[in-house]
């Protein structure tokens, strides 16, 4: 494959970003994994939220083979993925003031829990308000965002703040504003987004840290196995029974 092909250029760009977050976010990843382990050890519950395409990374750590069984998806109707019709409605809902508070008021989140919030820009009302309201409830918040947006865009929340301003720990995805890694003279718009690749890898690095930290403390991490390997369903059944009061995606 030639070095000049768009496929090679995109993969190289993604690799460069992964190397950056590996090196530059190492302390934050360690802190986030430790905070998750602390929450599990203390009997807290784990939740993840993302809107639109940011939801893809949040969903990747929920009910996941090799992942923590205690991670639950916090859903907001109309913004989880791009399945709402029209898809543009999801983007509009991210800008609605008060929506996050209404969702949290009817959710199982409580003091002592932990919420991972994924938002590439971190500028819309929904993720900002979600973080602010969650922390007011006594919930610890890990934010996964591109910090660059806070210096190159304006906030869409009435406070003028961003997701990064309301988190216990921030993981910076390093994604450039616009989320497009490639340009060509023959194509008017930039293309080839890498945010999903990088954000998903960041969160899996955090989950790996959490599992290892629990094991170091003599606590068996509540991990799920693949249902496509022999004994997987039996293993998962045992884990879900043991931790049933902290798993909400079965209800």
* pLDDT tens column, 14-36: 999 999 999 999 999 999 999 99
Give this prediction's pTM. Answer: 0.94
Token pair for residue 219?
A: 């606590």
pLDDT at 1: 44
Burial code (b: 16+ CB inside 10 Å, e: under 16) for 137-172 equals: eebbbbbbbbbbbbeeeebbbeeebbbbbbbbbbbb
Q: What is the pLDDT of residues 86-122, one digit of tens each?
A: 878 777 778 778 888 999 999 999 999 999 999 999 9
Task: Provide φ and ψ at 42, rounded to 5°.
Answer: -90, 0
Q: What is the pLDDT of residues 33-87, one digit of tens each?
A: 999 999 999 999 999 999 889 999 999 999 999 999 999 999 888 787 777 778 7
pLDDT at 226: 97
pLDDT at 95: 78
Place 2 in a pLDDT band, splitting at 50, 70 and 90. low
Return d(Cα 30, Cα 26) in angstroms, integer: 6
pLDDT at 3: 66
Token pair for residue 182?
A: 């490639």
pLDDT at 52: 87
Complete DSSP assignment for 62-88:
SS-TTSBTTEEE---TTTBSS-SSSTH
pLDDT at 88: 80
> Could you tell me if 50 and 202 are in contact, meaning their C-beta atoms sit under 8 angstroms apart?
no
Q: What is the pLDDT of residues 116-162, one digit of tens each?
A: 999 999 999 999 999 999 999 999 999 999 999 999 999 999 999 99
Stretch 211-229: mean pLDDT, rounded? 97
Return d(Cα 31, Cα 170) in angstroms, integer: 10
Place 242 in a pLDDT band, splitting at 50, 70 and 90. very high
Name the helix (H) or strand (E) containing 118: strand 114-118
3-state secondary structure at position 227: coil
């Amino acid at each position: 494959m030639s070095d000049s092909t768009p496929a090679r250029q995109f993969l190289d760009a993604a690799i460069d970003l992964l190397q950056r977050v590996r090196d530059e976010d190492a302390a934050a990843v360690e802190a986030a994994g430790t905070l998750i382990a602390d929450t599990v050890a203390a009997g807290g519950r784990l939740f993840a939220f993302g809107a639109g395409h940011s939801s893809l990374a949040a969903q990747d750590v929920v009910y996941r083979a090799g992942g923590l069984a205690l991670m639950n998806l916090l859903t907001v109707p109309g913004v989880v993925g791009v399945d709402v019709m029209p898809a543009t409605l999801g983007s509009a809902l991210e800008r609605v003031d008060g929506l996050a508070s209404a969702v949290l008021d009817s959710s199982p989140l409580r003091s002592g829990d932990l919420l991972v919030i994924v938002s590439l820009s971190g500028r819309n009302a929904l993720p900002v308000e979600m973080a602010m309201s969650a922390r007011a409830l006594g919930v610890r918040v890990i934010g996964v965002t591109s910090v660059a947006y806070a210096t190159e865009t304006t906030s869409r929340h009435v406070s003028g703040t961003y997701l990064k301003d309301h988190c216990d720990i921030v993981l910076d995805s390093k994604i450039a504003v616009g989320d497009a890694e490639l340009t060509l003279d023959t194509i008017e718009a930039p293309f080839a987004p890498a945010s999903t690749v990088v954000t998903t890898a960041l969160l899996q690095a955090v989950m790996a840290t959490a599992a290892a930290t629990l094991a170091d403390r003599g606590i068996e991490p509540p991990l799920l196995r693949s249902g496509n390997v022999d004994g997987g369903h039996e293993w998962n059944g045992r884990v879900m029974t043991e931790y049933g009061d902290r798993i909400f995606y079965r209800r």
